[in-house]
């Protein structure tokens, strides 16, 4: 882990220590600097959960990534600073899908002065800061969340309603790397995977969040969501560069499929 390069990438210039102030500052800085995105999946490029590959992509090549990459790099950085970090297997929408969802999300358990905290920069819409592992409401920068105990040793995180995934579950046992790798492969190849079906990009700018789903740009605050439908491939490429820091002109090739998805969604809404 080249810690100095990571800290430069996220714009962190303070003294990095294994304390709560550093954890909070890194969490916010990471989300502000590095977007959540599944563009490689959409472009047919294989993604792995290997932290070294994620470092090269997010830090060296200044890209974004999804949970395995985002939390993989943050977890490696926290370990290099001196935190005790445990990688946990989460399950987004396990409340609906059951245990088959386990491993579709990577979460970090971080020990801070003997107290357990959850760090998660890889949800694509979640908390700006880490939160204590304790049942009850969580409020950060005006966004309200909730953490509760679920069944059989599971914890359940309830997301803010203006963000994408309504909930995810996790246990405190260390994740099985082989299981995460298998789920990572499934999420980028299965036709029923949301990451195969939709382009998703997310980034925080202070307390506002920006999110692209296919050809729609969302501007999200705690009390509203404003939507703008992009009109061309050139506009998509420009928005990715200007608002998300992603200089990827090859994403213009995705435009025909984005148009098709949008039209099918509009037709389904009209029938409903």
Using alpha carbons only, how large is the chain's radius of gyration in Å?
18
pLDDT averaged over every residue in the chain = 95
The candidate with the shortest Cα–Cα distance to 193, out of 58, 69, 53, 47, is: 47
Rounded-to-integer distance, Cα 242 and Cα 217, Å: 13
pTM for the model stands at 0.95
Q: What is the pLDDT, as a whole number, of residue 270?
A: 74
Tokens of 88: 């946990």
Is residue 109 domain-resident? Answer: no
Here the CATH number for the domain that contains residue 215 is 3.30.2140.10
Q: What is the pLDDT, as a whole number, of residue 14?
A: 87
Q: What is the pLDDT, as a whole number, of residue 89?
A: 97
Identify the active-site residue in 105, 160, 202, 218. 105
Is residue 239 domain-resident? Answer: yes
Q: What is the pLDDT, as a whole number, of residue 152?
A: 85
Is residue 14 domain-resident? Answer: no
Identify the active-site residue in 67, 160, 184, 218. 67
Q: How many CB atoms lie within 10 A of CB 189?
A: 13
Rounded-to-integer distance, Cα 155 and Cα 146, Å: 11
Is residue 164 domain-resident? Answer: no
- Provide the residue range defining the domain that includes 201: 194-271
pLDDT at 199 over 80: yes
Q: What is the pLDDT, as a whole number, of residue 45?
A: 96
Rounded-to-integer distance, Cα 245 and Cα 58, Å: 12
Q: What is the pLDDT, as a whole number, of residue 264?
A: 83
Q: How many CB atoms lie within 10 A of CB 177?
A: 12
Q: What is the pLDDT, as a whole number, of residue 102?
A: 96
Contact 244, 210 (CB under 8 A): yes
Rounded-to-integer distance, Cα 168 and Cα 92, Å: 4
pLDDT (mean) for 34-41: 98
Is residue 209 domain-resident? Answer: yes
Is residue 183 domain-resident? Answer: no
202, with CB counted inside 10 A (0-12, 13-18, 19+), is: buried
> What is the count of structural domains for the chain?
1
At 269, is the pLDDT very low, low, confident or very high (cuts 50, 70, 90)? Answer: confident
Is residue 146 domain-resident? Answer: no
105 a catalytic residue: yes
Contact 145, 139 (CB under 8 A): yes
Task: Walk across the sheet containing 224-229 and list its strands.
Answer: 36-37, 200-205, 208-213, 216-221, 224-229
Tens-digit pLDDT profile for residues 161-194: 999 899 999 999 999 999 999 999 999 999 999 9
Give the whole-number percent of the chain exceeding pLDDT 90: 90
Contact 140, 205 (CB under 8 A): no
Write down the residue that tokens 């059989």 correspond to.
152
Tens-digit pLDDT profile for residues 131-162: 999 999 999 999 999 999 987 899 999 999 99
Q: What is the pLDDT, as a whole number, of residue 1?
A: 64
Rounded-to-integer distance, Cα 19 and Cα 178, Å: 31
Identify the active-site residue in 120, 160, 169, 202. 120
Is residue 86 domain-resident? Answer: no
CA 31 to each of CA 27, 94, 113, 175, 213: distance values in angstroms, whole numbers, following the listed order: 6, 25, 24, 23, 18
pLDDT at 256 over 80: yes
What kind and span of H or E run contains 107?
A: strand 105-112
Q: What is the pLDDT, as a whole number, of residue 194?
A: 95
120 a catalytic residue: yes
214 a catalytic residue: no
């Amino acid at each position: 882990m080249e810690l100095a390069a990571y800290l430069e990438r996220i714009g962190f210039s303070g003294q990095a220590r294994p304390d709560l102030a550093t954890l909070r500052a890194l969490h916010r800085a990471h989300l502000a600097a590095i977007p959540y995105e599944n563009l490689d999946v959409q472009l047919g490029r294989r993604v792995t959960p290997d932290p070294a590959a994620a470092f090269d992509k997010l830090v060296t090549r200044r890209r974004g990534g999804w949970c395995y990459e985002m939390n993989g790099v943050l977890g490696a950085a926290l370990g290099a600073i001196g935190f005790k970090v445990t990688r946990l297997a989460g399950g987004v929408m396990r409340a609906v899908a059951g245990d088959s969802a386990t491993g579709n999300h990577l979460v970090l358990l971080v020990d801070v002065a003997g107290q357990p905290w959850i760090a998660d920069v890889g949800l694509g819409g979640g908390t700006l800061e880490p939160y204590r592992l304790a049942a009850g409401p969580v409020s950060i920068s005006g966004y309200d969340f909730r953490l509760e105990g679920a069944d059989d040793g599971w914890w359940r995180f309830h997301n803010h309603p203006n963000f994408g995934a309504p909930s995810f579950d996790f246990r405190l046992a260390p994740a099985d790397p082989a299981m995460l790798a298998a789920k990572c492969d499934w999420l980028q190849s299965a036709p029923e995977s949301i990451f195969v079906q939709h382009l998703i990009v997310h980034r925080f700018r202070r307390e506002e969040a920006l999110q692209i789903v296919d050809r729609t740009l969302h501007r999200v605050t705690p009390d509203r969501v404003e939507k703008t439908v992009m009109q061309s491939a050139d506009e998509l490429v420009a928005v990715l560069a200007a608002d998300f820091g992603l200089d990827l002109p090859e994403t213009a090739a995705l435009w025909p499929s984005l148009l098709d998805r949008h039209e099918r969604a509009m037709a389904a809404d009209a029938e409903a």
